[in-house]
Amino acid sequence: MNKKLLWLVFALTTATQAALSSPVTSSPLELKPVVQQAQAARLSAGILSRYDYRALPLDDALSEKIFDSYLKILDSEKIFFVQSDIDQWASFRTRLDDAILNENLNIPFAMFNRYAQRATDRFAYARSLLKDGFDFQKKESYQYSREKETWPKSEADARELWRKRVKNDWLRLKLAGKDDKSIADTLDKRYEHSQKRITQLKNEDAFQVFMNAYTMAIEPHTNYMGLRAAEDFDISMRLSLFGIGAVLSEKNEYTTIRELVPGGPAALSGQLNVGDRILGVAQGEKGELIDVQGLRLDDTVALIRGAADSVVVLDVLPAEANPDGKHLKVPLIRKKISLEEQSAKKSIIPVSDGNVTRRIGVITLPSFYEDFEARQKSDPSYKSATRDVARLLNELKKENVDSVLIDLRNNGGGSLTEAVALTGLFIDKGPVVQQRTAQGKISVESDTKAGVAWDGPLGVLINRGSASASEIFAAAIQDYGRGLIIGEKSFGKGTVQTMLDLDQIAKNDKPKYGELKMTIAQFFRINGGTTQLRGVTPDIPFPSIHDDEEFGESSYDNALPWVQIKALDYSPVGDLSTLRPKLLSRLEARVKNNKDYQYLQEDVAEFDRLRKKNQISLNETERRKEREAQEARLKARKVGKDDTPEDPMTNRDDGLQADERNLTKDLAAEKARKSAKDVLLDEAAHVLSDQVDLLDSSTKLTNGMPRTTKPVALSTPE
């Protein structure tokens, strides 16, 4: 599912982790479609049925797929609806196409409203269970994943599912050492908050969910974006926005400052601190304060963002103040905020091998970002992943690294232009990727700039979360024999999307329709294969915690198939195939003595076992035994230079959700996670050190991977 699929699915997911239903105690506001939404749906249908890569007519057959897709988004775990809901909607299966074409969205909105009512009822039931507590001596279990199950046959069956969910929530807190009163209070607030989220849903939420059910029924990566979602996508690509420079989160009904961006207006004001709560927002120093306590986080954020150099005033309750404490009025001038945390970063890992220590330069790239608008305006400082990586490579060369590792783990892609340009930093001209349109027209994207930014040993670290542009880059590096691909098999997204502004197409004076992210082509490797469905297979594989049926392109029922076209005429710069057996042999020998790697393998095996089991005991004695066994296993591990035991409390389940934890402790835990030893990154560095060792020190690398015979000037993409 698309990460930007909206606030509702975020609310739904949070709700799913809690508990649900029972007698109706309140009804959420009935949502109704507006004319512009029906018009946007009809316009989208006209475009998608003609121009999408998998252009499907909007007919009864597609309507059935939309119906199933819609239910999956609303109730993937089958815990809200009951079978009678599905039976009642039997005639809707072939009427959703008519709803779009006739500009009458009453049916999909009726389904959404039923979801909201069911969810409200479920949470009411969850709260009603808290007054009596639970019998934890009883032998019963809880199934924590129900995606492949059927809907409950009756309300009684639904309540039984929720009883077990609530019981599991209670038991988690009990095992974490909480007493019954604090457990009941915590869960009641949790479920009440989830109920409130349902009441805050808007017709824009319902429309976006339905439209994504439509678009994703065609192809998994075709999406609809409302105005706010489109803005967020824009920000993620250019890595900048106009605002105050604060990361906000929701805690106990308050919009809370989680982080201050260095150099931003909030940090420079000297008046704001982490933990401060924002109670109101005004536009301009004389503007009226709008109360934001209890408001949806995205609505509060929208009020705080604004035009460059405009003034926003915050009504702030300091972190240390009581709820009735003194407020501060803090005026701030909005400025351009660069999201540097999401930019490319470098580090150096020293690897000792006998008496030799090699320096492996690591560049971590979270996405293939590019500020399209700034580039079109010829802004000399426009933000670009390739420009940043080129600069970092120059710095690493000055620091005399022996090899470079590009870390693309969990890099979901981004700009195709950036993927091609980034490849050009490591190859001296040549094709990078092929694109084929639905009409069969094939085009080639090539690196046309002479010279490279780095001509030494290279590795690319990927995992199942590496997708799209990451796969284009990794595949090109592999096909050219330019570097080693290390890690897990990648996601398998081999399609190309483009953004279409529906308001521009409709020639609207003001934005009201949103945008389409539409699949327009499929990309192919220069060797003729595609990464679609199969992904990029690493040369040096690492343990994987992912199940291909649950995550990755192969988890989609309607993913495009793997196909092959004619290979391009290209000249590999190396052949690392003869090195591979030696590197694998060294890896196998080394990890036998690497406790951290062995622990990781154990954890992967345990995670896989639990995933397949899909059941957890609700008997307290059994759960305590399971926890004690797990903690004993962790305690037996020796970590650190002094071989001290691992602290099992570090990973102990506290039973809390993110917004329920103490902010200071939560930030400390987050910092600890970020600074924890990265076993796979460390092992990838050792693999590259082995590669350097196996290559000769002459002007040409062994196995045909040449170094340049003279220095090449570093050129950044225009």
- Give tens-digit pLDDT for 302-316: 999 999 999 999 999
> Cβ contacts of residue 278 below 8 Å, gap of 6+?
248, 254, 255, 256, 257, 292, 300, 304, 314, 315, 316, 317
More confident site: 705 or 359: 359
What does each C-alpha distance from 49 to 44, 176, 313, 475 come to in angstroms?
8, 53, 47, 31
The secondary structure of 448-481 as a DSSP string is: ---S-S--S-EEEEE-TT--THHHHHHHHHHHTT
The CA distances from residue 482 to 18, 409, 478, 581, 707, in Å, are: 49, 19, 6, 17, 11
pLDDT band at 645 (very low <50, low <70, confident <90, very high): low
Catalytic-residue membership of 468: yes
The tokens describing 677, both together, are 């030893």
Three-state secondary-structure class, residue 667: helix
Q: Which of 468, 470, 490, 689 is catalytic?
A: 468
pLDDT of the residue at 698: 35
Kindly report whether the global pTM for this prediction surpasses the value 0.85: yes
DSSP letter (8 states) at residue 26: -
Read off the pLDDT of residues 279-288 as tens digits, 9 standing for 90 and up.
Answer: 999 999 999 9
Domains observed in the chain:
7-218 (no CATH), 240-338 (2.30.42.10), 341-591+681-704 (3.90.226.10)
Average pLDDT of 191-200? 94
Q: Tell me if residue 583 falls in helix, strand or coil.
A: helix
Q: How confident is the model at residue 24 (pLDDT cuts 50, 70, 90)?
A: very low
At 136-152, the pLDDT tens digits run 999 999 998 999 999 99
CA distances from 100 to 64, 75, 439, 499, 632 (A): 13, 22, 26, 21, 58
Tens digit of each residue's pLDDT (9 = 90 or more) over 596-629? 999 999 999 988 898 899 999 999 999 999 999 9
One-letter amino acid at 468 equals S
Q: Are 497 and 221 in contact (CB under 8 A)?
A: yes
Residue 422, pLDDT score: 98
Mean pLDDT, rounded, of the chain: 89
Tell me, letter by letter, the H, E, C secondary structure of 690-704. HHHHHCCCCCECHHH
Query: Is residue 394 within 8 Å of 714, Cβ to Cβ?
Result: yes
CA distances from 426 to 455, 651, 715 (A): 6, 40, 11
Q: Which pLDDT does position 651 carry in this prediction?
A: 65
- Amino acid (one-letter) located at 385: A
**Rounded Cα–Cα distance for residues 694 and 702 (Å):** 8
User: 254 pLDDT exceeds 70?
Assistant: yes
- Residues 153-194: pLDDT tens digits? 999 999 999 999 999 999 999 999 999 999 999 999 999 999
Averaged pLDDT, 99-104: 98
Handedness of CA 580, 582, 586, 589 (dihedral sign): positive
The pLDDT assigned to 637 comes to 84
Task: Tell me how far apart the alpha carbons of residues 576 and 482 are, in angstroms, rounded to a whole number.
Answer: 8
Tokens encoding 353: 């091998």
Average pLDDT on 493-511 reads 95
What's the DSSP call for residue 281? E
Of the residues 276, 455, 479, 539, only one is catalytic, namely 479
Distance CA 521, CA 717 (A): 24
Q: Indicate which residue of 169, 493, 503, 659 is catalytic.
A: 493
Task: Look at strands 540-541 and 484-487 and give their pairing.
Answer: parallel
Q: Which two tokens stand for residue 240?
A: 């900048």
Q: Where are the beta strands (DSSP E) in 479-588?
A: 484-487, 495-501, 515-524, 540-541
Q: Is 398 a catalytic residue?
A: no
Lowest mean pLDDT across 37-46, 393-402, 657-666: 657-666
On the question of pLDDT at 425 being above 50, the answer is yes
Q: In this structure, how many other beta carbons lie within 10 angstroms of the beta carbon of residue 255?
A: 28
Q: What percent of the chain has pLDDT over 70?
A: 91
- Given this model, what pLDDT does residue 699 score? 38
pLDDT-derived band at 468 (thresholds 50, 70, 90) equals very high
Q: Is 493 a catalytic residue?
A: yes
- Percent of the chain whose pLDDT exceeds 90: 77
